[in-house]
Amino acid sequence: MKLQQLLFLHEVIKHQCNISLTAKALFTSQPGISKCLQQLEDELEVELFQREGRQLKGLTPQGEAISSVVANILADLHKIQQIAKNARPNAKPLLEIVSTRYIAEHILLPVLARYYASHPEVEVNTYEDIPERVTEYVLAGEADIGILSDLSKRYSELVYFCISEWRLILLTHRSHPLLNTNPLTLRLLAEAELVTYNRASVARKAVDAAFAAAGLQPKIVHSLSSTELILADLATSKWVGILAESAFNPEKHPDLVMIGNKSLFPPLSTWICIRKQAFLRGYVYDFISLLQPELDRQTIQKAQHNID
């Protein structure tokens, strides 16, 4: 069994069993990846993937179990590399963080400014990705901390801490007819033209779930990837925007006003996740405490090691 085989297996799973996308991401050939995976299956004498012709359709039960072990192996290898790097002369400590775009824009930026001031010696690498990939980074040891709001899928290898709660609000121009509607209900809102986040975001899932529970089909005219794009869209239109409350600054957007109340959609939570049993250096705990002061080293270590 070779390390390259495990790496290819992990990357193929990360790319939803799409060998073409995996080959592009790794700058290698599709036949090379396919051959490597076949050799691994031959060596293990077990099928890792469900196949339909030459297409991979998912993991077999054995593949699921093995993929979890492979993720831990690669995470430990990444940590070995980090320890070695930190031991080199004049090496800077490294903190790696992965989050969704919304969190990067509205939570990470102000915290990073404070962290840079108190820890100038630490090199900080940040990545943005969809919620599913955030946890994959942490599972693979490619990030020390993951920050996300979608916990539809939890992993037993990770420990999760809630750090904040937030809500969605409605914004529109001061001349919109819904301003004169009281109370504003989901049924009335469903008749308006709406702008909100794309379907990959946890906020959009909350919006869709609320309308679906009420048996309504909203008129969503634009699905956008960030709050900045939603605000820009509202600036040139008379639509109603559904977006995170923290994104709205009345001084920066004097033509927009919040309508309705904050209870039309359920509250959402922001979580951090780290690997169980992972060794974290002091500067990692310091960053987490800036996100949530109640999360000290002792609290985190108890959760990591299942200590009551």
Q: What are 197-228's pLDDT values in tens digits?
A: 988 788 999 999 999 999 999 999 999 988 88
Return the CATH number at 280: 3.40.190.10
DSSP for the chain, please give it. --HHHHHHHHHHHHTTT-HHHHHHHHTS-HHHHHHHHHHHHHHHTS--EEEETTEEEEE-HHHHHHHHHHHHHHHHHHHHHHHHHHHSTTPPPEEEEEE-HHHIIIIIHHHHHHHHHH-TT-EEEEEE--HHHHHHHHHTTS-SEEEES--SS--TTEEEEEEEEE-EEEEEETT-GGGG-SS--HHHHHTSEEEEE-TTSHHHHHHHHHHHHTT---EEEEEESSHHHHHHHHHTS--EEEEEGGG--TTT-TTEEEES-TTSS--EEEEEEEETT----HHHHHHHHHH-TT--HHHHHHHHTT--
Same domain, 11 and 156: no
The answer to whether residues 142 and 285 belong to one domain is: yes
Are 193 and 213 part of one and the same domain? yes
Q: What are phi and psi of 37, to 5 degrees?
A: -70, -40
Residues 109 and 185 in one domain: no
Q: Judge if 47 and 120 occupy the same domain.
A: no
Residue 248 CB: number of other CB atoms within 10 A?
17
- pLDDT tens-digit readout, 230-283: 999 998 888 999 999 888 888 988 989 999 888 899 999 999 999 987 888 899
Task: Decide if pLDDT at 145 tops 80.
Answer: yes
Q: For the full predicted model, state whether its pTM sits above 0.85.
A: no
Quick one: 282 and 262 in the same domain?
A: no
Residues 119, 62, single domain; the answer is: no
User: Are 174 and 234 in the same domain?
Assistant: yes
Burial of 220 (0-12, 13-18, 19+ CB in 10 A): buried
Residue that the structure tokens 């937030």 belong to:
166
Is the same domain home to 254 and 282? no
The residue from 11, 36, 71 where one domain ends is: 71
For the ranges 121-130, 161-170, 184-193, 287-296, which has the lowest average pLDDT?
Answer: 121-130
Domain holding 298, by residue range, is 92-165+269-304
- In this structure, is residue 79 part of a structural domain? no
Residue 258 in any domain: the answer is yes
Is 83 a member of any domain?
A: no
Lowest-confidence pick of 47-51, 127-131, 272-276:
127-131
Distance CA 36, CA 2 (A): 9
Residue with tokens 């702008």: 195
Residue type, 211: F
Same domain, 208 and 258: yes
Residues found in the chain? 308
In a domain, 279, yes or no: yes
Whether residues 185 and 159 share a domain: the answer is: no
Which CATH number does the domain housing residue 40 bear? 1.10.10.10
Q: Are residues 147 and 281 in the same domain?
A: yes
Closest CA to 194 of 180, 210, 175, 207: 207
How much is the average pLDDT of 46-67? Answer: 87
Domains in the chain, number: 3
Mean pLDDT of 75-104: 77
Would you say residue 144 has pLDDT above 80?
Answer: yes
